[in-house]
Structures are given as structure tokens and as C-alpha cells.
């Protein structure tokens, strides 16, 4: 199988609680088009986004702040399934960007978002340590009981995609750990705690050379669509719409494709 090794910045670790998770982007330079709050003061835009979007959305958040002086973008990155549950439970948020239509459906079924739009697609790779101590070459190697494998839990998008890919290959893998989001799964490889993991191609790129990514044909059977929508109870609805517009723009697509996402 072919291998792909790319370099990118390591994403900020996920927050353990909702309050801790809401971290702001850096301030941008002055530009036109300020989004004002109803009282005429500063605006805070809160975006809930899949963990695999950490790098790209942080960059787009800085771009948005630069174009809208007085607006601060705060992110809650994590498992799409967990974020959807938080939104349904009443967590204040303006935008939701999920790693699968199924997790977005949790929010739309609760009438908390309407008409989500797919803005990117992602595929899986086998992530292995840079020295590949278990000599993993393809998906079938993950069935070897001597190979320690990490997978995302099935209820989160990266885990559901792994199940689809393994089913397409007719393979059964017994992981030594099931993680709650793709970043935690990749970390197991980066730390050398496992020999391999199934993660998104974009996360391999974001690992900054800490892991090697191995392509496998069954990944094409498990492509994840990423939908985004402003939330119906958004505290900052105008800013929410403008942020979604940025993500859907050519500028947003350029940032995403550079990180390894596919255009929808």
C-alpha cells in the first residue's frame, strides 16, 4: 500500500468540560463589516465543531475576527456526538459543524438547526508510528492479534467510518482501546501506546510528521460528509450566518483542502 506522510501543526488538546472547552481565537487586524451585538458592544460567536476541524476552524476563526472587529470566535472542539448532545441539552452555541450527517441529525431532529449544508468530506487512513514497529502495510495487518490497534468508539463519526471500512473489507479487528474522538485515537499512536489506528487523513497531516499515514482502498467506502448549520437559538445569529458563509466560501474551501479535506 502507498504511504503518505505530511507535516502540519498539532491541534490544541480537547477540553474536558464545556466551560473549559470554549477557548478564543487570536485577535485579527482591522477590517470592514463589523458584526455588532444588540447592545452595540462586542460580540462573541460560539462554534461547536468536530475535533478533526480544530486546525482549519481555528484558522478560519482568526480570519473571521480580522474581518469583523469587535467579534471574538470561541470554539468547542470534540466528538460530534458529544457536541450534539450538549446542544440538545441547552448548551449555548451559534454554529454546529459535525463530522457526519447522523450527528447533525440529532440537532435538526430537536429543531435546533435547519438546512445544514455539506462543506467538506474526509477519508480514513491507517496511522502508524513513524518507525512502524509492527510493520503494518495494509488493513488486513490490523487483524493480527500481535498488532495493538486503537479505534474511535462506534457511536462517533470516525468510529462509524472505521466499521464501514472494515465491513467493506470483510475484516474483524479487536482494538485494545476505543476512544471518544479522533484526536484521542491519534494520540495513542503518537505516544507509541498502540501500533496502528484508523483516523482521518486530515489528522495524519495535522500530526506534523509524528505518524505515517497508509492508504487503503476500502476507505472509499467510508467517506464522511461534514455538515454545518447556524443554530436556531444562536445568541449571535447574524455572526453565525456570516461564519457559515465563510466556511462555504472559496476561501473556506481553500483552507480545508490544504488540510487534506475533499470538497463536497
Every domain of the chain and the residues it spans: 9-121+225-258, 122-221
The CATH architecture annotation of domain 9-121+225-258 reads 3-Layer(aba) Sandwich (3.40)
Pick the CATH number of 122-221 from 3.40.50.720, 3.30.980.10, 3.40.190.10, 1.25.40.420: 3.40.190.10
The residue with cell 482502498 is 217
Reported as a pLDDT band with limits 50, 70 and 90, residue 117 is very high
Average pLDDT over every residue of 65-86 = 97
Residues 6+ positions from 79 with CB-CB distance below 8 Å = 50, 51, 156, 180, 181
Reported as a pLDDT band with limits 50, 70 and 90, residue 26 is very low
Reported as a pLDDT band with limits 50, 70 and 90, residue 15 is very low
**Residue 249 pLDDT more than 60?**
yes
pLDDT per residue over 195-248, tens digit each?
Answer: 999 999 999 999 989 999 999 999 999 999 999 999 999 999 999 999 999 999
Q: Do domains 9-121+225-258 and 122-221 have the same CATH topology?
A: yes
User: What mean pLDDT value characterizes the chain?
Assistant: 87
Q: What is the pLDDT of residue 41?
A: 61
Sign of the torsion formed by the C-alpha atoms of 232, 264, 35 and 92: positive
Do the beta carbons of residue 47 and residue 93 sit within 8 Å? Answer: yes
pLDDT per residue over 27-47, tens digit each?
Answer: 333 232 333 334 446 899 999
> Which residue from 17, 88, 97, 102 is spatially nearest to 56, judged by alpha carbons?
97
**Residue 7 pLDDT more than 80?**
no
Amino acid at each position: 500500500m502507498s504511504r503518505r506522510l505530511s507535516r502540519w501543526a498539532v491541534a490544541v488538546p480537547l477540553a474536558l468540560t464545556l466551560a473549559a472547552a470554549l477557548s478564543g481565537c487570536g485577535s485579527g487586524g482591522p477590517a470592514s463589516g463589523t458584526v455588532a451585538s444588540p447592545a452595540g458592544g462586542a460580540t462573541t460567536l460560539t462554534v461547536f465543531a468536530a475535533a478533526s476541524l480544530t486546525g482549519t476552524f481555528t484558522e478560519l476563526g482568526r480570519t473571521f475576527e480580522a474581518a469583523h472587529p469587535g467579534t471574538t470566535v470561541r470554539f468547542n472542539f470534540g466528538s460530534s456526538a458529544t457536541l450534539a448532545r450538549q446542544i440538545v441539552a441547552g448548551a449555548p452555541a451559534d454554529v454546529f459543524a459535525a463530522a457526519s450527517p447522523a450527528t447533525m441529525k440529532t440537532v435538526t431532529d430537536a429543531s435546533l438547526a435547519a438546512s445544514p449544508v455539506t462543506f467538506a468530506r474526509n477519508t480514513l487512513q491507517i496511522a502508524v508510528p513513524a518507525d512502524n514497529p509492527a510493520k503494518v502495510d495494509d488493513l488486513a495487518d490490523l487483524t493480527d492479534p500481535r498488532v495493538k490497534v486503537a479505534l474511535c468508539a462506534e457511536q462517533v463519526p470516525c468510529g462509524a467510518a472505521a466499521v464501514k471500512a472494515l465491513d467493506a473489507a470483510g475484516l474483524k479487528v479487536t482494538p485494545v482501546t476505543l476512544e471518544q474522538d479522533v484526536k484521542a485515537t491519534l494520540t495513542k499512536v503518537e505516544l507509541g501506546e498502540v501500533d496502528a489506528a484508523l483516523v482521518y487523513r486530515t489528522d495524519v497531516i495535522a500530526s506534523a510528521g509524528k505518524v505515517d499515514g497508509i492508504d487503503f482502498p476500502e476507505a472509499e467506502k467510508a467517506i464522511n460528509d461534514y455538515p454545518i448549520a447556524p443554530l436556531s437559538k444562536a445568541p449571535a445569529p447574524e455572526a453565525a450566518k456570516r461564519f457559515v458563509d465563510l466556511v462555504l466560501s472559496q476561501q473556506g474551501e481553500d483552507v480545508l483542502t490544504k488540510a487534506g479535506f475533499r470538497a463536497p
